[in-house]
Copies of this chain bind each other. A is one copy, B any other.
Amino acid sequence: MIARTGTCPGAAALVFGTLLAAPAMAQFAKPEDAIKYRQSAFTVMGNHMGRLAAMAKGERPYDAAAAQSSARIIDTIAKLPWEAFVPGSDQGKTGAKPELFANLADVRSLAERLNGETGKLTEAAGNLDAMRKQVGATGAACKACHEKYRNM
């Protein structure tokens, strides 16, 4: 659980960093494990976003059941990577920019935006037009974080 600290970004970063680090480190024996975990989550999520995008663009036939299945997977996995930006995991085979680790409150806010969008994805995926719109909104939430914090 992340404490909210109102409008003070410095304090938010401190509280988020502290709360993130303590329980999360216990989930990963080594920083490399945290990197591998978050990259794995992004890989699975990206694959299913690709399936939805292909249907949205008409590159693949729209299949409501398959789309909703992918949407459910995305919504589950989109909640996972954030605890894995633990201390020490800014080094090694990571595409995360150093700035990410100095702005964890902003990352949390961007993650919450993403989770808000993925939460609407399963229902939207039941209808092609609604899915197109919601895939766009979800992709925009992905991109907002990638542009700031991921080495392309």
Contact = CB atoms under 8 A, between A and B. Distances in A.
Interface of A: 26-28, 33, 36-37, 39-41, 43-44, 47, 51, 60, 72-73, 76-77, 80
B60 A26 contact: yes
Nearest to A54: B26
A39 B80 CA distance: 16
A27 to B, nearest CB: 6
A47 B27 contact: yes
Nearest to A27: B51
Nearest to A72: B76
What are the nearest 7 A-B pairs in CB distance? A40-B40, A40-B43, A76-B76, A40-B44, A37-B47, A41-B44, A36-B43
A77 B26 contact: no
Contacts of A26: 60
Contact of A37 (B33, B37, B43, B80): B43
